[in-house]
Amino acid sequence: GAGVSQSPSNKVTEKGKDVELRCDPISGHTALYWYRQSLGQGLEFLIYFQGNSAPDKSGLPSDRFSAERTGGSVSTLTIQRTQQEDSAVYLCASSLGGWTGDGYTFGSGTRLTVV
């Protein structure tokens, strides 16, 4: 596609429920990143996929968070047993490669609210 597409744009869920967030990167981009942004804060790295390499999961805050990337394209971020502190905007980005800024493009994000 022309840009990075994320869905849903907004998600309200009850505490304790599981949620899945989707990211569709730009075609041909081998690198895909998930970040989250709490209200008024900077971006916090969550996980990074580069080609067929094992993902860098060093930013995942707990084992309730997981992500996969199927076929080197679409990625899904799953949060199990959501907590109120998980409320944030979850941003996905993709780029041509892992080591340069070429084409580093963000999606519009998914605003997650846990009530």
Q: What's the closest the beta carbon of residue 81 comes to another protein, in angstroms?
A: 25
Q: Which of 68, 102, 113, 115 binds another protein (CB under 8 A)?
A: 102
**Residues 44, 93, 55, 67, CA torsion sign:** positive
Q: Contact at 8 Å (CB) between 110 and 44?
A: no
Does residue 68 belong to the site contacting another protein (CB under 8 A)? no
Whole-Å CA distances, 31 to 3, 55, 73, 110, 115: 14, 10, 9, 19, 33
14 vs 42, which CB is nearer to another protein? 42
Does residue 59 belong to the site contacting another protein (CB under 8 A)? yes
Does residue 48 belong to the site contacting another protein (CB under 8 A)? yes
Stretch that binds another protein, among 17-25, 62-70, 76-84, 106-114 (CB under 8 A): 106-114
Q: Contact at 8 Å (CB) between 28 and 88?
A: no
Residue 36: its H or E element: strand 31-37
Contacts with another protein by CB under 8 A lie at 31, 33, 35, 41-45, 48, 50, 56, 59, 89, 91, 93, 98-106, 108-109
